[in-house]
């Protein structure tokens, strides 16, 4: 029995290939998402293992300054001395000691006069100390105070090479250095994670990076033979009880944990999209096998008439589907690995070089899950229609009209209930009713809405496709194509449902992104009265030597046309025992520019020894106007501040304010940002030109207008939308290929019909146009359903979050583009089926089966 059915399958090789293609597409995206996520995770693991591979034990000073443990990109304040190095060298079991210097804020100036990398990856400086992690690619290490080596990534970005002179800014002013070496890292990496690195001699690094000759930021210790890392760590810790001593593995683990949240979010997102891709593929697989078994109903009935039992037929179909599903899943797995590689490259292009990812990682669970899920979906998709077909009596099945479609009443009723339940859950999520987390309520509600709409799609398909088909009613092929689309509403609905999912998620993401951008724009326009802003590199923390002298605040305010100006510098301080980020600057000017509203006391110019607190800080410390707080900074002695007022924070400024006179203990003496309010918009170009002149010799600083600031704020949203659309694009590609598959199988199913209409006078071109109309109508139907669900889902998410950064906006242009692209997708999907239909031999088609 099985051999006979297998022979029948192999006789129709193209039909078999199309059914296998459905499984391949469904599993390809799933395995691709798994591979991409694992590759990202392995990339970060390998990065930190590489960074610390030459370290057995590391010693650093305990930083007890406010926020010191989290000031990764600032100038270190807790340092080690030569005495500590000598102490470590004398510990039993120490084979070697390598003191090091590291600090953020070593910025190389490019040929355009600005910092290379700008607001991109971190810019850092180190001492060349023979660390084997650094692999010299060209030249030699720096040996004199005026020599440096740069990493390959920085050399490529700046265009500077061996023998050239480049200016570098550190804690010292802009200073020329000769580039004598270019280095990289293990694995042929130009950088570890996109950062730029400048290496100095050890004495020079101590002076320009730490402003502390003879001091170090860390000591790397090598263990002698036979001494374990943990044993050596304990011995060193006993010798230096006041410092932090960790093994290299512990350092790598801590560094990895700092990025684990990002990696986990990325992996979770990819798994979610894997499930979405498989869910989309499920529609494709089920639809394909439903059509395949329907086309073989007469064949199955013939086996029944020869004496095969219903169980034999079903078992044969089951075995067929297992073999087909497993084979197709293996192909899908292989293609998925390629998709994972491409996905990595696409996300790296969107996010940038900060992702330390290379190669492809394929885990065992990804292989087993892909094969198991692909095979299981195939079996279910093939067995359900086979069971349905086996119930048809053999004599009835061998007639021309095998079995009419079942009424849609039960399916429609069930779909209405499921859609209503999904809508109810979305409503509960929007209203935040009950103790269930909002994200869970919205997620389940969205899933039920998708399922309910898919179940209702058959009853909706005929009127919608009929209405849309009127656009093609001027021709006979157009009318026939529209009628063919509505002739089998179940098939049309299942095919369109796959496209609906991708379009709905893309539309929902578009609504959310547009609402976020509109909210950010609205918040900026509402809370910032400045037309111009002076900004510095965003990659540096306030503790790094980045910015401009705060005294220039008066110069900016004195420019013709300027009504108000403020220069702000910030740092983490300790207020009454609690670490808080505070800003120093003219509070009166800040009040004018940022629309600060007092909650208690007054918002006014601050005298030395006074503070203006934001409401959350005042509430947390239980203080208010007339009380005092003690402030401890990173570099200064504790001071007592009188609280003169409390203000309501907004999206522009949410930190407490102190007088510039009390900021002497901040890690950096520079202001990191400035804002300038101009009397009239017509004077903005003139004032901007004056500001450009003022900061012409400061490569860290750039002057931006309001639109540029809003664009920078929206840039992150655009990056997220780009990632989401990249992932959803693959889902939509799967859905479009599903349309191709359905139409090709439909052409097989209607071979005699197509032969007859050719025989009565329809040309090949007209047949091709008819199939094209069917494809366009299916794609438009799926897109319309997706837009409807996606807009509803996006609106629900925006309303449920209710954030000040979200202003509900429906991107009508985006929706129209989506609809237009669905027509294009329909045209593309129709190419192969139309060619196949047009090339049918008329006489052979009439005689088919």
Would you state the pLDDT for residue 697? 79
pLDDT tens digits, 307-336: 777 777 777 777 877 888 898 899 989 988
pTM of the model: 0.69
Give the C-alpha separation, 666 to 543, whole Å.
7
CA 61 to chain centre: 36
Give the C-alpha separation, 408 to 489, whole Å.
9
Give the C-alpha separation, 523 to 804, whole Å.
7
Q: How confident is the model at residue 826 (pLDDT cuts 50, 70, 90)?
A: confident
Whether 593 contacts 530, CB under 8 Å: yes
> How many C-beta neighbours within 10 Å does residue 365 have?
10
Q: What is the mean pLDDT of residues 468-482?
A: 86
Of all residues in the chain, the percent with pLDDT exceeding 90 is: 24
Q: How confident is the model at residue 456 (pLDDT cuts 50, 70, 90)?
A: confident
Helix, strand, or coil here: 414? helix
Would you state the pLDDT for residue 539? 41
Q: What is the mean pLDDT of residues 684-697?
A: 90
> How many C-beta neighbours within 10 Å does residue 289 have?
28
Would you state the pLDDT for residue 75? 64
Long-range contacts: 689-698, Cβ < 8 Å, 24+? 690/559, 690/560, 691/532, 691/534, 691/556, 691/559, 694/552, 694/555, 694/556, 695/534, 695/548, 698/548
Give the C-alpha separation, 458 to 451, whole Å.
12
Residue 346 in this model has a pLDDT that exceeds 60: yes
Would you state the pLDDT for residue 166? 94
Give the C-alpha separation, 617 to 564, whole Å.
27
Give the C-alpha separation, 633 to 495, whole Å.
64
Give the C-alpha separation, 842 to 171, whole Å.
84
Residue 304 in this model has a pLDDT that exceeds 80: no
The C-alpha R_g of the chain, in whole angstroms, comes to 34
- CA-based end-to-end distance of the chain: 21
Q: What is the mean pLDDT of residues 448-470?
A: 85
Q: Which of 216, 138, 132, 211 is nearest to 180 (CA)?
A: 138
Give the C-alpha separation, 529 to 19, whole Å.
62
| CA–CA–CA angle 62, 68, 73 (5° rounding) | 115
pLDDT tens digits, 562-573: 999 999 988 889
Residue 262 in this model has a pLDDT that exceeds 90: no
Q: What is the mean pLDDT of residues 700-715?
A: 81
Mean pLDDT of the chain: 82
Among 157-161, 379-383, 705-709, 808-812, where is mean pLDDT lowest?
Answer: 379-383
pLDDT tens digits, 178-195: 999 999 887 677 887 778
Q: What is the mean pLDDT of residues 115-128?
A: 80
Q: How confident is the model at residue 394 (pLDDT cuts 50, 70, 90)?
A: low
Q: What are phi and psi of 200, to 5 degrees?
A: -110, 170
* Region of residue 163 (left: phi > 0; alpha: psi -120 to 50; beta: else): left
More confident residue, 823 or 848: 823
Would you state the pLDDT for residue 176? 94
Q: How confident is the model at residue 644 (pLDDT cuts 50, 70, 90)?
A: very high
Whether 527 contacts 595, CB under 8 Å: yes
Q: Which residues neighbour 630 within 8 Å (Cβ) at sequence distance 6 or greater?
A: 575, 576, 638, 639, 640, 641
Q: What is the mean pLDDT of residues 765-774?
A: 88
C-alpha dist (Å) from residue 193 to 48, 148, 165, 196, 341: 10, 21, 25, 9, 18
Residue 261 in this model has a pLDDT that exceeds 60: yes
**The tokens 């109810």 sit on which residue?**
424
pLDDT tens digits, 728-747: 776 777 777 777 877 777 77
Residue 843 in this model has a pLDDT that exceeds 60: yes
Give the C-alpha separation, 4 to 296, whole Å.
13
Cα torsion 814, 282, 264, 333: sign:
negative
Please give the structure tokens belonging to residue 435.
């103790």
Give the C-alpha separation, 19 to 315, whole Å.
19
Residue 236 in this model has a pLDDT that exceeds 80: yes
> How many C-beta neighbours within 10 Å does residue 446 have?
23
Would you state the pLDDT for residue 86? 94
Would you state the pLDDT for residue 9? 58
Q: What is the mean pLDDT of residues 589-599?
A: 90
Secondary structure letter of residue 68 according to DSSP:
G
Would you state the pLDDT for residue 541? 47
Residue 277 in this model has a pLDDT that exceeds 90: no
Give the C-alpha separation, 69 to 76, whole Å.
10
Q: What is the mean pLDDT of residues 143-167?
A: 93
Would you state the pLDDT for residue 84? 94
For residue 94, list its beta bridge partners.
223
Please give the structure tokens belonging to residue 183.
């280095």
C-alpha dist (Å) from residue 538 to 541, 547, 706, 714, 769: 8, 11, 17, 14, 56
Residue 8 in this model has a pLDDT that exceeds 70: no
Would you state the pLDDT for residue 665? 87
Q: How confident is the model at residue 125 (pLDDT cuts 50, 70, 90)?
A: very high
Would you state the pLDDT for residue 685? 92
CA atoms within 13 A on the CB side of 190: 12
Whether 337 contacts 33, CB under 8 Å: no
Would you state the pLDDT for residue 545? 61
Would you state the pLDDT for residue 146? 95
Residue 372 in this model has a pLDDT that exceeds 80: yes
Q: What is the mean pLDDT of residues 806-829?
A: 85
Would you state the pLDDT for residue 556? 93
Whether 660 contacts 585, CB under 8 Å: yes
CA 411 to chain centre: 38
Would you state the pLDDT for residue 18? 66
Give the C-alpha separation, 438 to 182, whole Å.
52
Whether 174 contacts 125, CB under 8 Å: no
């Amino acid at each position: 029995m099985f051999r006979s059915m297998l022979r029948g399958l192999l006789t129709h090789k193209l039909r078999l290939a199309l059914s296998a293609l459905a499984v391949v597409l469904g599993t390809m995206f799933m395995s691709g998402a798994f591979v991409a996520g694992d590759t990202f995770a392995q990339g970060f693991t390998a990065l930190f293992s590489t960074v610390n591979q030459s370290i057995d034990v590391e010693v650093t000073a305990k930083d007890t300054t406010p926020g010191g443990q989290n000031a990764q990109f600032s100038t270190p304040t807790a340092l080690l001395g030569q005495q500590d190095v000598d102490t470590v060298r004398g510990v039993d079991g120490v084979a070697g000691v390598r003191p090091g210097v590291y600090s953020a804020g070593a910025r190389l100036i490019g040929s355009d006069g600005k910092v290379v990398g700008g607001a991109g990856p971190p810019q850092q400086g180190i001492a060349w100390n023979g660390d084997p992690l650094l692999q010299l690619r060209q030249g030699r290490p720096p040996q004199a105070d005026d020599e440096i080596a740069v990493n390959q990534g920085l050399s490529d970005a700046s265009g500077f090479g061996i023998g050239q002179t480049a200016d570098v800014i550190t804690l010292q002013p802009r200073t020329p250095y000769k580039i004598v070496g270019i280095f990289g890292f293990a694995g042929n990496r130009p950088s570890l994670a996109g950062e730029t690195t400048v290496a100095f001699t050890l004495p020079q690094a101590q002076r320009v990076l730490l402003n502390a000759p003879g001091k170090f930021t860390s000591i790397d210790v090598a263990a002698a033979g036979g001494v374990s890392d943990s044993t050596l760590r304990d011995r060193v810790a006993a010798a230096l009880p006041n410092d932090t001593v960790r093994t290299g593995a512990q350092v790598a683990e801590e560094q990895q944990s700092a990025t684990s949240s990002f990696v986990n979010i990325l992996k979770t997102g990819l798994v979610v999209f894997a499930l979405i891709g498989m869910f989309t593929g499920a529609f494709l697989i089920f639809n394909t096998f439903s059509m395949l078994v329907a086309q073989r109903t007469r064949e199955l009935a013939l086996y029944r008439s020869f004496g095969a039992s219903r169980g034999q037929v079903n078992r044969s179909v089951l075995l067929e589907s297992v073999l087909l599903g497993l084979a197709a899943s293996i192909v899908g797995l292989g293609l998925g690995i390629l998709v994972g590689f491409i996905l990595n490259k696409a996300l790296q292009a969107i996010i940038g070089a900060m992702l330390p990812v290379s190669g492809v990682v394929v885990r065992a669970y990804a292989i087993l899950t892909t094969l198991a899920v692909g095979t299981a979906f195939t079996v279910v998709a093939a067995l359900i229609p086979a069971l349905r077909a086996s119930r048809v009596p053999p004599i009835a099945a061998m007639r021309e009209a095998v079995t009419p479609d079942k009424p849609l009443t039960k399916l429609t009723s069930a779909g209405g209930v499921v859609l209503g339940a999904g809508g109810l859950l979305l409503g509960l999520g929007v209203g935040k009713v009950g103790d269930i987390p909002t994200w869970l309520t919205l997620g389940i509600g969205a899933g039920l809405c998708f399922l309910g709409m898919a179940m209702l799609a058959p009853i909706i398909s005929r009127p919608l496709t009929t209405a849309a088909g009127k656009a093609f009613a001027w021709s006979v092929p157009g009318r026939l194509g529209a009628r063919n689309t509505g002739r089998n509403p179940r098939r049309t609905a299942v095919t369109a449902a796959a496209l609906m999912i991708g379009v709905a998620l893309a539309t929902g993401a578009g609504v959310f992104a547009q609402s976020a951008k509109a909210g950010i724009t609205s918040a900026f326009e509402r809370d910032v009265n400045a037309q111009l802003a002076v900004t510095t590199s965003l990659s540096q923390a306030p503790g790094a030597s980045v910015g401009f002298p705060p005294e220039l605040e008066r110069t900016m305010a004195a420019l013709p046309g300027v009504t108000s100006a403020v220069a702000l510098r910030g740092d983490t301080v300790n207020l009454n025992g609690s670490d808080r980020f505070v800003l120093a600057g003219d509070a009166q000017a800040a009040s004018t520019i940022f629309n600060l509203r007092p909650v208690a006391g007054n918002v006014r110019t601050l005298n030395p020894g006074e503070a203006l607190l934001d409401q959350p800080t005042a509430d947390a410390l239980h203080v208010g106007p007339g009380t005092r707080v003690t402030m401890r900074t990173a570099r200064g002695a504790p001071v007592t501040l009188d609280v003169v007022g409390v203000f309501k924070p907004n999206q522009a400024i949410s930190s407490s304010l102190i007088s510039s006179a009390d900021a002497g203990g901040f890690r950096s003496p520079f202001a990191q940002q400035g804002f300038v309010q101009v009397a009239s918009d017509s004077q903005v170009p003139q004032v901007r030109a004056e500001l450009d002149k003022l900061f012409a010799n400061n490569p860290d600083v750039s002057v931006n207008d309001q639109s540029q600031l809003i664009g920078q704020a929206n840039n992150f949203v655009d990056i997220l939308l780009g990632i989401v659309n990249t992932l959803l694009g693959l889902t939509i590609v799967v859905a479009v290929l599903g349309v191709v598959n359905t139409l090709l199988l439909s052409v097989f199913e209607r071979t005699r019909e197509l032969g007859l209409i050719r025989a009565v006078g329809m040309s090949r071109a007209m047949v091709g146009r008819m199939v094209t109309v069917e494809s366009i109508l299916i794609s438009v139907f799926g897109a319309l359903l997706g837009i409807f669900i996606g807009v509803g889902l996006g609106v629900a998410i925006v309303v449920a979050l209710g954030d000040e950064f979200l202003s509900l906006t429906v991107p009508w242009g985006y929706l129209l583009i989506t609809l237009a692209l669905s027509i294009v997708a329909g045209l593309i999907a129709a190419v192969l089926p139309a060619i196949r239909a047009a090339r049918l031999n008329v006489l052979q088609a009439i005689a088919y089966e």
